[in-house]
Structure 1
Amino acid sequence: MSNSGQLVELLLPTPFDGLESETTVSQLSAESNILQLLLPWQGKGQQQLIEQDTDEDDDDDDDDGGVDLNQKHPIDTLILNRSAHVRYLRSFLFQLPSRMVVLDLSRSWLSYWIIGSLSFLGVDLSLDERKRAIDTIISFQNSSGGFGGGPGYLSHLAGTYACISTLAILTSGLTDDLIHQTWSRVDRRGMYDWMLSLKRSDGSFQVQLNGEIDHRASYAVIAIGTFLNILTPELIDSLPEFINSTQDYEGGLASKPTFDRSESHHPGIPLGESHGAYASCGLATYFMINDLPSTSSSAFDLDLQACLRWAAGLQTLPIDGGGFKGRTNKLVDGCYSWWSGALFPVLDALISSENSKNLTKGEKLPDLFNRRALQEYILLISQVHESPNVIEQGGMRDKPGMDPDVYHSFYVLSGLSLSQHRHLFDQDSILKTFKPINDSQKASLSPEAKNSFNTHREMFFGKNESKEDGLERMKRLYCKTLGWKVSEEEKLVIGLPENELKPTHPIFPLRHSILKDTLDYFYNQ
């Protein structure tokens, strides 16, 4: 596909019903700020189309708000200023500014966002830096199981997910000895027992002891359990039903149901409203555990078409730059480049599987969101332009008026990669990569070898799970994680070719090679 983008010609304002609220005032302000960044790339004549209060008697056509509308910059010259972003991220790597002392209990997340963002940009830390970072992360581990947000803090599922993901980044590409030394310091049995203690009867999880309950916790358990090969039927039990009970009238997923299900035939009542981040976590969890052996099967399947309709509405109008928002009637936000954008490859995989009988061999669904528009939002709006293509301040931001931060840097960059590379799910293709189980099969992978998967690293089995079911579950988790393929012919990079990032996994925002290294270790493949 061509890498030359084209912003739409008519930057019409969001329809306004005349009822002023804090949100509508903020929306109009955001549109005005975004417009000033779009106009230099649009050419003359656009401002008159977007002004709310045009004075038809005003003959002054030269009032351009300080923007030279005659100067048009072609979209194919847009740059991702890697050096500025790397410089910004490295400034936080081992010494945080004093203003961030209030985030001491979020050091696990800060490590993940900083090191993960550098990974997206193709920056590998030195061996000494990796060892120092690994020691820091391990110091967050508690003897009772799991990791806190920092040393001495209560174990938390979100923080534990961040720590395990960061260790995956740091160990990728190291020698076998260093990989083993690092992962052997993680207490997998303590981790498993702690996660199981957070399990609730309706299938959900608390994020920590006596903590809140929502899709973040479920997603963290699935991610940690998959990475470390400790995801048993006990952890998954009733989780599909919990996820299904949170789908609301909009089609998306709310944080949780209002009431626990009192009867098996009643799915519960969703609490709150559909939310991009909760839906992303919930849908990814649903994808990973759907059809696993030894798990419960829900009578209440998700309405995927309703979820797709809702998700499509999260991509904003051209006047908002084409980025994503997280909820209906809310403002665009750069972080939803990932949270909302990641819904689409998962929906693509689930809907394609559901419609497999109606699709001919090799047929696939069209793009489900505007990948070009999302990249334009990221490169034009989330980056801080002092003037067109002059980007001295590194880091990514929510929107104009907001400062860059490491949280938005991580999720904006992962969203940029997601929009550049289309992912298609094909778990059968991963079978051919399985390690042969004996010497006679090394020369040629027979069907028996491809389907054996009889080797593993201290896999955790469920209490009543047969070895056969356990091995099949392990095989499917491995395949579901590594079965995503990048469609090279559908690569789309807006701006300079150097803007391309490495493909990011659509379920777990890490580079594919990092996930493969981690799973190959714990699944002994």
Structure 2
Amino acid sequence: MLPTILPPLSKGSHATHCKRCLSGLPSSQVDVDPAKLALSFYCLGSLDVSGELENRTRDWEREQWREWIWSQQTHGHYGTGFRASSYMTAKYSAEGYSDHDNPQIIMTYTALLSLSTLRDNFSRLDRKGLLKFLRSCQNTDGSFSSEPLGGDSDLRTTFCAFAISTMLDDWSGVDVTSALQFIRSCRTYEGGYGQSPFGEALGGTTYCALAALRLANQLDPLSVQDRQKTIRWLVQNQASNGGFRGRTNKDADACYCFWCGASLHILDAGDLVDKAAMSSFIASCQFKYGGIAKIPGEHPDPYHTYLSLAAVALLPSNPPEGSSWALHPLDPLLNATYQTSSWARAHIPASKVDDDDALGDAGI
């Protein structure tokens, strides 16, 4: 049980903050405007995990958001994916994309989960084009670029490729063997994983590595010693104030409560999180008008709001129904509520849609 001195989790205020950000960003957040699709995922995810999506939004709003997300699906020579936003309107190149609107692998991952959160039927998803897009993003070292023509290439994009393949229930767009080799090459002496080979261990990319390995059913080959080393590094990253830091000897940040906490959960060591201390830290990061900040006293944003709520949703022994700290259970592998991840796994694969269509044609 959470200690009685813990202040309430202001789910309603946080939901209001995220819904407001879906319409327009405060001045402190305009720098993330070019990544609107990811921003939408954090806002919708916060509403979903807090159980406020249907309470705080109307049918026409959810339909409007679905239509906007589908308008970001782009097709071209390198396949089909989702771009970050529609803010660019450059002319289309010979490859079929505009000069600035290439599909992006992280945005594609967030688009699929956002549409699942909104319970779309995915009748408009170009699945074959999406597989081609994944193949176009994979590099010779097994890693994935964020875009077919280049961009960031690290464990974040590798995780997204594995998550998309899982949701499609089709791994033909990925050279799994070389991708696994790239993941293993990012492991550090501490037991964490860096963004790329020889990089410093980071909480976020450690989550990406472990989740990707689990999605590919490759986590068990980790030796007992390696597993214990990773668990020890993650546990040591919980600071004295209850929050988690993303790097050794750095300050705690609310988002790492999820990245490190979810990593421990994937390793079946979630009970090692100091639940009361972490909850207290997250409570101290709440903004009085709604939203959760990276540290106490900072301005809130949808990114830290969602990941803080997601971290609480993963804690063992969730509070009883009715408690302000009771949230919808979270699937740590896809980073969405179990209801949403189940919807994605049921409706995104082509075979599932074909079966549903056949039943419909038969009048069932």
TM-score range, shorter chain: 0.7 to 0.9
User: Residue 129 in 1 paired to residue 58 in 2?
Assistant: no
Which AA in structure 1 matches 2:324?
Answer: E
Give, in angstroms, the shift of residue 238 of structure 1.
Answer: 1.6
- The 1:184–1:496 alpha-carbon spacing in structure 2 relative to 1, beyond 3 Å, is closer
- The 1:281–1:394 alpha-carbon spacing in structure 2 relative to 1, beyond 3 Å, is same
Name 1:407's counterpart in structure 2: 303
**3-state SS of the aligned residue for 1:256?**
coil
Name 2:255's counterpart in structure 1: 335
- In 2, Cα distance between the equivalents of 1:402 and 1:366? 28
Name 1:119's counterpart in structure 2: 48
Name 2:323's counterpart in structure 1: 497
Q: State how 1:372-451 maps to structure 2 within 5 Å.
A: 372-379=276-283, 381-384=284-287, 392-419=288-315, 422=316
Q: Deviations over 1:419-464 (max 9, x none)?
A: 2xx3xxxxxxxxxxxxxxxxxxxxxxxxxxxxxxxxxxxxxxxxxx
- In 1, Cα distance between the equivalents of 2:234 and 2:30? 36
Give, in angstroms, the shift of residue 286 of structure 1.
Answer: 0.8
- In 2, Cα distance between the equivalents of 1:126 and 1:235? 42
Asked which structure has the greater CA Rg, the reply is 1
Tell me which protein shows more helix as a share of its residues. 2
Q: CA RMSD in A?
A: 2.5
* 4+ residue runs over 6 A deviation: 297-302
Which runs of no fewer than 5 residues in structure 2 stay unpaired? 89-100, 356-364
- In 1, Cα distance between the equivalents of 2:289 and 2:24? 19
Which AA in structure 2 matches 1:309?
Answer: R
- In 2, Cα distance between the equivalents of 1:252 and 1:83? 36
User: Residue 313 in 1 paired to residue 240 in 2?
Assistant: no
Name 1:63's counterpart in structure 2: none
Give, in angstroms, the shift of residue 191 of structure 1.
Answer: 1.2
Q: Deviations over 1:306-350 (max 9, x none)?
A: 111111111111xxx2110100010000011111111111111xx
Q: Percent identity?
A: 30
Answer yes or no: is the 8 Å Cα contact 1:241–1:300 preserved in 2. Answer: no
Name 1:323's counterpart in structure 2: 243
Answer yes or no: is the 8 Å Cα contact 2:11–2:324 preserved in 1. Answer: no
Q: 152-161 or 321-330, which moves further after superposition?
A: 152-161
**3-state SS of the aligned residue for 1:248?**
coil
- In 1, Cα distance between the equivalents of 2:264 and 2:102? 34
- In 1, Cα distance between the equivalents of 2:13 and 2:174? 46
**3-state SS of the aligned residue for 1:312?**
helix
**3-state SS of the aligned residue for 1:143?**
strand
Which AA in structure 1 matches 2:68?
Answer: T
Q: 1:154 aligns with which of 80, 88, 102?
A: 102
Name 1:346's counterpart in structure 2: 266
Give, in angstroms, the shift of residue 302 of structure 1.
Answer: 8.7
- The 1:127–1:199 alpha-carbon spacing in structure 2 relative to 1, beyond 3 Å, is same
Which AA in structure 2 matches 1:501?
Answer: L
Q: State how 1:480-495 maps to structure 2 within 5 Å.
A: 491-493=317-319
**How many residue pairs are counted as aligned between the two chains?**
331
Name 1:185's counterpart in structure 2: 124
- In 1, Cα distance between the equivalents of 2:28 and 2:325? 32
Name 1:425's counterpart in structure 2: none
Give, in angstroms, the shift of residue 240 of structure 1.
Answer: 1.7
Answer yes or no: is the 8 Å Cα contact 1:4–1:494 preserved in 2. Answer: no
Answer yes or no: is the 8 Å Cα contact 1:244–1:300 preserved in 2. Answer: no
Give, in angstroms, the shift of residue 298 of structure 1.
Answer: 8.3
Name 2:361's counterpart in structure 1: none
Name 1:283's counterpart in structure 2: 210
Give the alignment's TM-score, normalised by structure 1.
0.59
Answer yes or no: is the 8 Å Cα contact 1:4–1:495 preserved in 2. Answer: no
Answer yes or no: is the 8 Å Cα contact 2:261–2:270 preserved in 1. Answer: no
- In 2, Cα distance between the equivalents of 1:155 and 1:277? 23
Q: Deviations over 1:158-180 (max 9, x none)?
A: 11111111011011xxxxxxx43
User: Residue 217 in 1 paired to residue 157 in 2?
Assistant: yes
Which AA in structure 2 matches 1:205?
Answer: F
Q: Deviations over 1:464-496 (max 9, x none)?
A: xxxxxxxxxxxxxxxxxxxxxxxxxxx143998
Which AA in structure 2 matches 1:382?
Answer: C
- In 1, Cα distance between the equivalents of 2:307 and 2:164? 19
- The 1:313–1:101 alpha-carbon spacing in structure 2 relative to 1, beyond 3 Å, is closer
Give, in angstroms, the shift of residue 221 of structure 1.
Answer: 0.6
- The 1:88–1:229 alpha-carbon spacing in structure 2 relative to 1, beyond 3 Å, is same
Which runs of no fewer than 5 residues in structure 1 stay unpaired? 6-73, 172-178, 258-270, 349-364, 385-391, 423-490
- In 2, Cα distance between the equivalents of 1:286 and 1:502? 25
User: Residue 240 in 1 paired to residue 169 in 2?
Assistant: no
- The 1:340–1:299 alpha-carbon spacing in structure 2 relative to 1, beyond 3 Å, is closer
- In 1, Cα distance between the equivalents of 2:69 and 2:225? 37
- In 1, Cα distance between the equivalents of 2:163 and 2:2? 37
**3-state SS of the aligned residue for 1:136?**
helix
Answer yes or no: is the 8 Å Cα contact 2:45–2:114 preserved in 1. Answer: yes
- The 1:413–1:276 alpha-carbon spacing in structure 2 relative to 1, beyond 3 Å, is same
- In 1, Cα distance between the equivalents of 2:40 and 2:254? 20
Q: 2:17 aligns with which of 67, 82, 88?
A: 88
Give, in angstroms, the shift of residue 83 of structure 1.
Answer: 2.3
Give, in angstroms, the shift of residue 96 of structure 1.
Answer: 3.4
**3-state SS of the aligned residue for 2:267?**
helix
- In 2, Cα distance between the equivalents of 1:502 and 1:4? 17
Q: Deviations over 1:12-38 (max 9, x none)?
A: xxxxxxxxxxxxxxxxxxxxxxxxxxx
Give, in angstroms, the shift of residue 99 of structure 1.
Answer: 6.2
Q: 2:112 aligns with which of 135, 150, 164?
A: 164
Give, in angstroms, the shift of residue 101 of structure 1.
Answer: 4.6
